[in-house]
Amino acid sequence: MKTMTCRALGGPCDLAHQGESADDVINAQDAHLKAAEKAGDATHQDARDAMKGRWRHPRRSMGWYRDTKAAFAALPEG
């Protein structure tokens, strides 16, 4: 199990997301950003818009995805 924060994934806060894979934390970040948007949290809006764009245009976002997977892989377990 590894941990990445909202900030490490391009967001504005230090909420920790844990997962067995980079995809786990990316999906947790997506859910966090959706919840923040629904709650009217304007501080997360730029990150939410960026995440929406990545889901809509996955090929164009492969650089971000590869970088995130590499950052996740470099993290220590725990």
The model's pLDDT over 29-76, given as tens digits with 9 standing for 90+, comes to 999 999 999 999 999 999 999 999 888 888 888 999 999 999 999 999
pLDDT at 42: 95
pLDDT band, residue 77 (cuts 50/70/90): confident
Count structural domains, the chain: 1
Instruction: With beta carbons less than 8 A apart as the criterion, state whether 69 and 75 touch.
Output: no
pTM of the predicted model, to two decimals?
0.89
Residue 37 sits in which domain range?
2-74
CA distances to 3, 39, 58, 78 from 52, rounded to whole Å, are 22, 17, 10, 29
